[in-house]
């Protein structure tokens, strides 16, 4: 009963736009777990013979205190199924939104995407799914559908992934937290829609020009650690307005716009120099080869090597 809340709070802390702190309000997630613990403690204090008959012989206990405790435990077991589904869904939705939101603030998202957490999420989902199926099969048909060793293997892999990656994973927005940020996800979403913005067309056009000057002319995109805050500071404009102009008036995200300019610079270097693709990758502002190749493929529908060959063939054809 505590696995779902713990997973959700961990993901919430890593993806929060404001500095995360544990609060008493978050303890409400553990109410079912607390009730389960109290019920089990009550069972453990009951006479051993009654508990043995109940567990081994499936006999309804005659003990006046034990019977309501057993009913409570079964009700909590039934509650565990929708509770698990709920936390799997909200955690999955948060991870998907997080991946999209990163593109509004960072030009490189490596080490912030939490891809390893998605794998862990999939393992936990598989583990819980097998437990749910096994629970109902055991209850209805008195048989075990899932091999016990398989459940142990999945649990071991989950713990291994969490241990290996979780302890060294920093929050995705570490160092880029919002100040005076909305307290809830819903209000943050409303804020991002810029519903209260009074940005005029002239002001928007002015900010568009400033963005293009900073990114294209001044080649700010060459900074591999460039963030939305850095861009906003360089043009003396608030991050909120820069984000709004990028989304509403330029039809793009901060991540996509910066990387489009990086790819344009890479195309020039591929066509005019003999530098390796890896050297060009780092020179134009990418900090991972995989990110460079992925962005290049998405924008040009070809690979760096193929693009260089095409440009070389064009040059030879012109001669």
Query: What are the pLDDT digits (tens) for 178-187?
Result: 765 444 444 4
Q: Is residue 196 part of a domain?
A: no
Q: Which domain holds residue 249?
A: 201-318
Q: Are residues 157 and 250 located together in one domain of the fold?
A: no
3-state helix, strand, coil in the chain (%, to 5): 70, 0, 30
- Per the structure, the count of domains in the chain is 2
Say whether both 158 and 206 belong to one domain: no
The pLDDT, as a whole number, for residue 55 is: 67
Do residues 128 and 43 both lie within one domain?
yes
Whether residue 179 lies inside any domain: the answer is no
Return the pLDDT at 63: 60
Q: DSSP characters for 119-150? A: HHHHHHHHHHHHHHHHHHHHHHHS---S-HHH
Domain match, 145 and 205 both: no
- Determine, yes or no, domain membership for 141: yes
Whether residue 37 is contained in a domain is answered as: yes
The answer to whether residue 114 is domain-embedded is yes
Residues 231 and 145 reside in one and the same domain? no
pLDDT along the chain (319 residues), means of 10: 91 92 92 90 78 68 71 86 90 91 91 84 80 78 75 83 84 79 45 60 94 95 94 93 93 95 96 94 94 94 94 75
Q: Are residues 153 and 296 in the same domain?
A: no
pLDDT computed for residue 138 by the predictor: 79
Is the domain of 137 the same as that of 249?
no
159 shares a domain with 84: yes
Q: Are residues 268 and 153 in the same domain?
A: no
What kind and span of H or E run contains 110? none
* Distance set, CA 10 to CA 3, 85, 112, 256 (Å): 11, 17, 14, 28
Domain boundary among 166, 193, 223: 166
Q: What CATH number should be reported for the domain holding residue 212?
A: 1.10.10.60
Does residue 227 sit in the same domain as residue 312?
yes
List CB contacts of 173: < 8 A, sequence separation 6 or more: 15, 16, 17, 105, 112
Tell me, yes or no, whether 160 and 242 share the same domain: no
Residue 182 inside a domain? The answer is no
Q: Let me know whether 109 and 245 are in one domain.
A: no
């Amino acid at each position: 009963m505590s696995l779902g809340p713990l997973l959700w709070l961990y993901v919430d802390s890593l993806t929060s736009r404001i500095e995360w702190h544990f609060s008493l309000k978050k303890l409400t997630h553990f109410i079912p777990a607390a009730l389960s613990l109290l019920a089990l403690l009550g069972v453990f204090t009951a006479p051993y013979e009654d508990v043995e008959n109940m567990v081994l012989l499936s006999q309804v206990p005659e003990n006046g205190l034990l019977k309501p405790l057993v009913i409570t435990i079964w009700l909590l077991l039934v509650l565990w199924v929708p509770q698990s589904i709920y936390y799997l869904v909200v955690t999955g939705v948060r991870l998907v939104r997080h991946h999209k939101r990163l593109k509004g603030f960072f030009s490189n998202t490596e080490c912030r995407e939490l891809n390893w957490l998605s794998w862990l999420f999939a393992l936990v989902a598989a583990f819980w799914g097998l437990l749910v199926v096994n629970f109902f099969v055991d209850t209805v048909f008195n048989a075990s559908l899932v091999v016990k060793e398989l459940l142990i293997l999945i649990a071991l892999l989950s713990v291994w992934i969490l241990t290996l990656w979780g302890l060294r994973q920093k929050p995705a927005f570490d160092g880029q937290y919002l100040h005076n940020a909305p307290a809830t996800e819903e209000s943050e979403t409303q804020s991002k829609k810029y519903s209260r913005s009074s940005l005029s067309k002239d002001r928007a056009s002015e900010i568009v020009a400033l963005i293009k000057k900073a990114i294209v002319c001044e080649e700010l995109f060459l900074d591999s650690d460039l963030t939305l805050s850095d861009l906003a500071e360089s043009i003396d404009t608030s991050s909120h307005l820069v984000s709004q102009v990028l989304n509403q008036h330029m039809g793009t995200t901060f991540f996509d716009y910066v990387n489009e300019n990086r790819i344009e610079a890479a195309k020039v270097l591929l066509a005019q120099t003999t530098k390796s693709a890896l050297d060009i990758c780092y020179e134009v502002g990418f900090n991972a080869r995989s990110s460079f190749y992925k962005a290049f493929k998405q924008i040009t529908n070809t690979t760096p090597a193929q693009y260089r060959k095409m440009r070389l063939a064009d040059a030879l054809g012109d001669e």
